[in-house]
Structure 1
């Protein structure tokens, strides 16, 4: 239990760090990409603007680079007269992709590289005398972003690993005092329950002798001794369950026969009016004694809180589980109490006395015995009123 808590704490720390790194890394990459994009555009605008100024001043046009693949380190410039498809310079000196485009900024893909072309008009006396196109590869920016992304990825992996290890260590330090306290509590319950068994046996023997002289007093004392004996046995079993020391023998048993036997015992002991039906026979791997204790605990609750009437049904649920449902039609309990009903010493109605409410250990022990057999147990509301207890046992 505490190991899983430690794992959850460590994973929660790592998850928080992952969220922080993801947000931070995304913002860094976004800002970097925007700055690099703006820088590339500004460089093209500066080169094209300089060429426009030379044209407006009547200067000569500088030759372009004779390459049809964008240069990763240089800005290439071409000048076109309005309405012409041939640049002012020699056509062979101008890359085919470097020409005016309808949009001021055009992003292309040339020979596997991203290219940006910026086009500006050269205006003299209000008349456009030329179009200047400046272009360059965006590969340097793309490569930088890839390197930063790779560094961030590996850095994040290292940070997450360090966070996970640190979280595991800190969670261990935080959980250890609680674990020691829990172990001490479980040990005390186990030791106290064990030590009570012998005195209670002697008390019972003495009270049986007393009963021969004063039956009324002896019966009352025997009832209290039986209650304390049952309470100590349940506490001992719960302590063993907490420590994973329940020794259960899962062998093939007939679930139908086990349920009918529990119905008979409950009818005799508590006077319950129970109807039972289901697949017969239904063979499942389970510990017969533990399962009988589970059914007895649930049917005892039916006698105390369910009006003494219930419907018991058992059958296969798919190919992997057998399920027993016990539906009573009593006053029921609030929905929020369905899960808490399995807590030790829990009573849905705090005003109940021990005679009407029990010690509050029956369902806690029942679920512990079911889970020790890799099964599940839960409560839900019965349609029309009451509580339905379900017990699912694996078939493998």
Structure 2
């Protein structure tokens, strides 16, 4: 049985997955860091090159100036004897030994030494001396060169043509030499130090640019996280009431229940949905820092009484014990925090099928204690109770999260503990106005 001929597979180009918003922000961070680091590196390298070249030009100019002065001093003492022969200027023995100065006579390439130092401090190769002297005699201008001695020292030679008029009509060239090994060592040491410093600064600049770029994009990442958190909160909290509204609508359409009861339950679900949306928006604005605190002196005990009076208890018992106290706070946000604590106690602070027994206490130190006689909160859930999607009965816990944010925004706190009534005790603290 013949096998079918293999069919060449057509390779389709892979589609690149578009980057996520966080991926784009991180890519922007890398580009900012790379651009900042590149500009800093170019600047540092450029300054290092300028410094090295400047040092090289400076010490070479200084050496050549010293050699020029040396040959000029030598030429000032140059003279001829009665026979017209050049005499080595020797006002004092050894005066021209260090740096050594050698006198050449002749024209063009035909030059020869006619006077040399008595005891030169440097041993200069004769070929190098003759070569630079011949160049100066040929060009009728100063000439410089660099040579290396047998022991590895680097010498700088400077040849200066002299304006003399001997009987033979030949010219003269004075050649001075100086050891530049120390200058070269210092220059190389400077170049090495600048290279190391430049590398360290470039690395530091790259790290700083990475850090600064991170700081620059951090608000964008935080805003993106807040947006994702808001969408997650909305999806989590609105899913249940939306599903309930759909079931009620289908029930009403089929006529399986009394229309008045359906409408009543629909109204209750829509009210709950409205409260959830309001809580979501408030929490998102708090996290984004968009809520500006309008602090003003207010009676905390009166605010709590108003909240309790405006909250439907639906057969639950709420006892209020207050002391007169003035706090400096935002009335709207603080009212929302107290209402959320009371609503949480009414919803979860009692056994199923039993009315809640809640006690609210306002103390003179600016604390509001909400105690219930419900089942309480397990210790392992107490630490994460004020985070979103955390509560003991399936609720998202947005109300407690908002209450905690309000307390912290005022410089206070919200803690949870076991109540003396056997249930849960929430303690909200806000700063008292100083007299």
Tell me which interval the TM-score lies in, with the shorter structure as reference length.
0.3 to 0.5
Task: Name the TM-score, length of structure 2 as normaliser.
Answer: 0.42
Task: Name the TM-score, length of structure 1 as normaliser.
Answer: 0.45
